[in-house]
């Protein structure tokens, strides 16, 4: 028996089989869950192709978190087709080019607001979709990157992640009475499509591997996926508002 037997999990953010979200979806299936994926915009066709690498192949539904009509439509589709959801994985993030690399002070609010809406506020948007489908409680888990320090080149995405972390705590506080847990998994750098778009990512990879007490493999999503699946399970019924670090111990080290 798997730790997610009988559970239905909605997973966002799958683009390729190198995506952290793909690792989560695969591990969730191995642990007995029924998985549903979402994709958005031009990435939707890529999500559908990647879904074929999962067994069984999951349904792929459209979700642009900035489009109120798509949010409404997905809510209705999930309710009509599935009735209930036991867990959801938030792996959504985006920042315009001006917000990553370059001069921190140069990014205009028009771009910063996009980064914050898609990367932070969308956690609340996802909660709006799944909470009505969790009458018996559930678990929402978000993919995070440590926002307690200022990283080279991460710039306004770091600010968005700080907002993301705060949003998770407020959701945990407000949804707890309904038996819904909200937690984040703060991962070390993974060599995904999203990561490769960040200037200076390769230098961060090298530093991480050197300093993490347990070492770090930026090509292996399995440690992050396993932790996420555990947080989706009934093993952590009294844990909410938490950020679990899966980074080889990097966060605990000094120079």
Nearest Cα neighbor of 29 from 62, 56, 66, 63 is 56
**Dihedral sign, CA of 144, 145, 149, 151?**
negative
Q: Based on the residue annotation, tell me whether 161 is a catalytic residue of this protein.
A: yes
Q: How many CB atoms lie within 10 A of CB 66?
A: 15
CB 200 within 8 A of CB 152: yes
Active site residue 124: no
Q: Considering the candidates 72, 76, 124, 154, report the single residue annotated as catalytic.
A: 154
On whether the CB atoms of residues 158 and 151 are closer than 8 A, the answer is yes
Nearest-10 crossing angle of helices 68-81, 122-130:
30
Query: How crowded is the C-beta side of 10, counted as CA atoms within 13 Å?
Result: 29
Q: How far apart are CA 18 and CA 172, in angstroms?
A: 29
Catalytic residue among 161, 170, 173, 196: 161
Say if residues 138 and 6 touch (Cβ distance below 8 Å). no
Positions annotated as catalytic residues are 154, 161
């Amino acid at each position: 028996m798997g730790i997610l037997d009988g559970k239905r999990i909605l997973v966002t953010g799958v683009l390729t089989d190198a995506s952290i979200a793909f690792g989560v979806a695969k591990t969730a299936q191995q642990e007995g869950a029924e998985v549903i994926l979402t994709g958005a915009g031009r990435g939707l066709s890529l999500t559908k192709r990647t879904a074929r690498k999962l067994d069984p192949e999951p349904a792929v539904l459209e979700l642009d978190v900035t489009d109120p009509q798509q949010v409404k439509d997905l809510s209705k589709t999930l309710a009509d087709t599935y009735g209930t959801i036991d867990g959801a994985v938030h792996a959504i993030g985006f920042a315009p080019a001006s917000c990553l690399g370059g001069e921190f002070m140069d990014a205009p609010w028009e771009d910063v607001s996009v980064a914050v809406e898609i990367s932070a506020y969308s956690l609340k948007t996802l909660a709006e979709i799944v909470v009505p489908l969790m009458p018996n409680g559930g678990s929402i888990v978000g993919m995070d990157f440590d926002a307690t320090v200022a990283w080279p080149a991460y710039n306004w995405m770091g600010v968005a992640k700080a907002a993301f972390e705060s949003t998770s705590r407020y959701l945990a506080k407000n949804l707890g009475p309904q038996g819904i847990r909200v937690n984040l998994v703060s991962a070390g750098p993974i060599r995904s499509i999203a990561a490769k778009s960040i200037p200076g990512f390769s230098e961060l990879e090298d530093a991480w591997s050197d300093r993490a007490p347990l070492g770090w493999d930026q090509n292996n999503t399995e440690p992050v996926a396993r932790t996420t699946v555990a947080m989706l399970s009934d093993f952590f019924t009294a844990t909410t508002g938490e950020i679990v670090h899966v980074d080889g111990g990097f966060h605990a080290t000094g120079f």
